[in-house]
Structure 1
Amino acid sequence: MSEGGGLIAVTGVTGGIGGRVAARLEARGVRFRGVARDLSRVPAIAGLEAVQMGRDGYRDQAALTEALGGCETLLLVSAAEGEQRVVDHAHAIRAAADAGVARIVYTSFLGADPDASFTFAQDHYATEQLIRESGMAWTFLRDSQYLDFLPLLVGEDGVIRGPAGEGRCAWVARDDVADAAAAVLADPGAHDGKVYDLTGPEAHTLTWAAEQLSAVTGREITFKNQTVQGAYEARYPLDRPDWELDGWVTSYVAIGTGEMDVVSDAVSTLTGHAPVGLRDWLEANPEAWAQLKA
């Protein structure tokens, strides 16, 4: 039996957030529909109804409108990072409105603001504004940087490099984000108009994070601060588009400016359990850092 009433649509069910949320909704007995571009990649979840939204993703507005038909609430998992991400989101929001969806729960980013240092946070702010202007009810889940990605920041030489200085971040696990999202979706109307900052339990520097990685891997891992210009110059040989380079570099800048130095109790309040910290997460997920072992 559904806790929250009307049918819920969950996008991104083949991804790291949407798939986790889908599994939690099924466990709660919440009635929902998974929406994906590729049905062959939809996780095997008992009773999951999955529909295809079109191979062009959110830009296939007609197919997405049809997929959302009869749904009251949409969990809009942010599209893959890209130069036209806000355009993708605009199509999804219009599709939801055309389908008669009453509310959108959107996975945004901590500190979403037009003047945010992190360029992708600017995109999230623009998306939030489109949702506010749509006339639908809304809830924004503003995630901190994902704790799960920290091991991926380590270079082959065991060094994390970026212009973060002594800034702090309260990295959050995607499992905790999914728990919080499922709690909101279980009774979505109770969270209309709410903004939740989803963070880990404590904010720490990248120097501290490197020390924790060293302790579990048995290998010396360090953090080396860079200037913004130095960070760009070090990444130019990767031959990536400008928007991607900007996102990489400014994700560190946002830590260095203090914009990520936020610790919220939202995960605890919504889920009834404390968010996991980096050291506990590393010990529970050795596969995430196996490539870093000495």
Structure 2
Amino acid sequence: MNAPESGVDAGSTRRIGITGASGHIGRRVAQILAEQGRAGDLRLIVRDPARAPRFADGESAEVAVASFDDAAACREAFAGLDTLLLVSAGESDDRVAQHRTAIAAAAEAGVRHLVYTSFTGASADAEFTLARDHGATEDAIREAAGRSGLTWTFLRDDFYLDVLQPWAGEDRTLRGPAGDGRCAFVAREDVAQVAARVLADPAAWADTVLETTGGEALTLGEAAERLTAATGETYRFVDETMAEARASRAPYGAPDWQVDAWISTYTAIASGVLAPVSGDVQQVLGRPPLRLEDVFGKA
């Protein structure tokens, strides 16, 4: 896609809010903006203030405490913000309700631009079941925009390259019914860099969907081979049947909706819906996306 033209100087953004600022994405976005001299423009929104990021150069950012299920706390935390990064909540059966509460609070607080970390193919009938939550959240943001006039940017992230090791676990085995399907895994660092760029200059990306993918689509077999070469440890992929996938996850004792979500991670890869490679990361950052070898490497 072509970048929209912007008549707004990046330095004109005054107050930037970052939810989930103690998590992987939120923390890294805060660090990037602080490195650009914007620490004083930031409000770090966390549930536990003790976990809020601290910056190496001694600069400090404002810290606010709120959770997405507390509308009053969200309104207070979002008040006076020009731009807000809404990092999606953790997996739960009420995640969409939490998101709706936070979105309504942002609109009521007068937030002018909302950046949301969504997912590839977000829709009501997405093969990856948790992407349905993201589709409902995107709808809620568009509805709020229609009422309040706020603008938005959706970062539709594919699965992160960074999760391949956690998926593989201690036995370094990727397991699931993914077959030869491909996924355009994206580096978490690229998502954070894109988010920081959009937050700094939101007018350039107003009402825009960015497909934040990597620069290549890998099968899980290829990912295992590349992980092996990059780390010096042996990884493998086991293509499970649906019955095998349920059996291998049964010991965790997770609720049905969560087991379905875990398995749909792999069936979504198998379906091919996560394979398309976008040029949006390069369009925003002016460089190619990071590769698996940039994320993992021998110590």
TM-score of the pair, normalised by structure 1: 0.92
Structure 2 match to 1:21: 29
Report Cα offsets for 1:197-254 as digits up to 9, x if no partner: 1111110100001111222344432111112232112211210122221111101111
Structure 2 match to 1:87: 97
1:236 corresponds to 2:250: yes
Gaps of 5+ in 2: 1-8
Are residues 48 and 95 of structure 1, via their aligned partners in 2, closer, same or farther at CA, if it must alter by over 3 Å?
Answer: farther
Structure 2 match to 1:121: 131
123-132 vs 240-249, which deviates more? 240-249
> How big is the shift at 1:42?
0.7
Residue number among 279, 282, 285 corresponding to 1:265 in the alignment? 279
Structure 1 match to 2:270: 256
> How big is the shift at 1:2?
6.4
237-246 vs 170-179, which deviates more? 237-246
> How big is the shift at 1:28?
2.1
Q: Tell whether the 8 Å contact from 1:25 to 1:182 is kept in structure 2 after alignment.
A: yes
Residue number among 27, 41, 45 corresponding to 1:35 in the alignment? 45
Residue number among 110, 114, 117 corresponding to 1:104 in the alignment? 114
Alpha-carbon RMSD across the aligned residues, in angstroms, is 1.6
Secondary structure of the residue that 2:154 maps to in structure 1? strand
1:48 & 1:193 partners in 2: Cα distance?
31
2:75 & 2:248 partners in 1: Cα distance?
43
Are residues 227 and 98 of structure 1, via their aligned partners in 2, closer, same or farther at CA, if it must alter by over 3 Å?
Answer: same
Secondary structure of the residue that 2:175 maps to in structure 1? strand
Q: Tell whether the 8 Å contact from 1:201 to 1:274 is kept in structure 2 after alignment.
A: yes
1:68 & 1:233 partners in 2: Cα distance?
44
Secondary structure of the residue that 2:114 maps to in structure 1? strand
How many residues are paired up? 283
1:282 corresponds to 2:296: yes
Which letter does structure 1 place at the counterpart of 2:192? A
Residue number among 41, 65, 77 corresponding to 1:53 in the alignment? 65
1:197 corresponds to 2:211: yes
1:153 & 1:258 partners in 2: Cα distance?
19
Spell out the pairing of 1:107-256 with structure 2 (5 A cutoff): 107-135=117-145, 136-256=150-270
2:16 & 2:239 partners in 1: Cα distance?
44
Report Cα offsets for 1:120-177 as digits up to 9, x if no partner: 1000000000000002211100111011110112144442110110001111111110
Report Cα offsets for 1:3-37 as digits up to 9, x if no partner: 24231111111000000000111122332211111
Secondary structure of the residue that 1:14 maps to in structure 2? coil
Gaps of 5+ in 1: 287-294
1:112 & 1:177 partners in 2: Cα distance?
16
| Matched-pair identity in % | 47
Are residues 75 and 156 of structure 1, via their aligned partners in 2, closer, same or farther at CA, if it must alter by over 3 Å?
Answer: closer
Which letter does structure 2 place at the counterpart of 1:278? L
Structure 2 match to 1:290: none
Structure 2 match to 1:292: none
TM-score of the pair, normalised by structure 2: 0.90
Are residues 83 and 152 of structure 1, via their aligned partners in 2, closer, same or farther at CA, if it must alter by over 3 Å?
Answer: same
Which letter does structure 2 place at the counterpart of 1:199? T
209-218 vs 235-244, which deviates more? 209-218
Secondary structure of the residue that 1:260 maps to in structure 2? coil
Are residues 156 and 283 of structure 1, via their aligned partners in 2, closer, same or farther at CA, if it must alter by over 3 Å?
Answer: closer
2:28 & 2:291 partners in 1: Cα distance?
19
1:83 & 1:5 partners in 2: Cα distance?
35
2:198 & 2:294 partners in 1: Cα distance?
25
Secondary structure of the residue that 2:117 maps to in structure 1? strand
Which letter does structure 2 place at the counterpart of 1:146? Y
Structure 2 match to 1:289: none
Q: Tell whether the 8 Å contact from 1:2 to 1:29 is kept in structure 2 after alignment.
A: no
Residue number among 11, 15, 39 corresponding to 1:3 in the alignment? 11
Secondary structure of the residue that 2:297 maps to in structure 1? helix
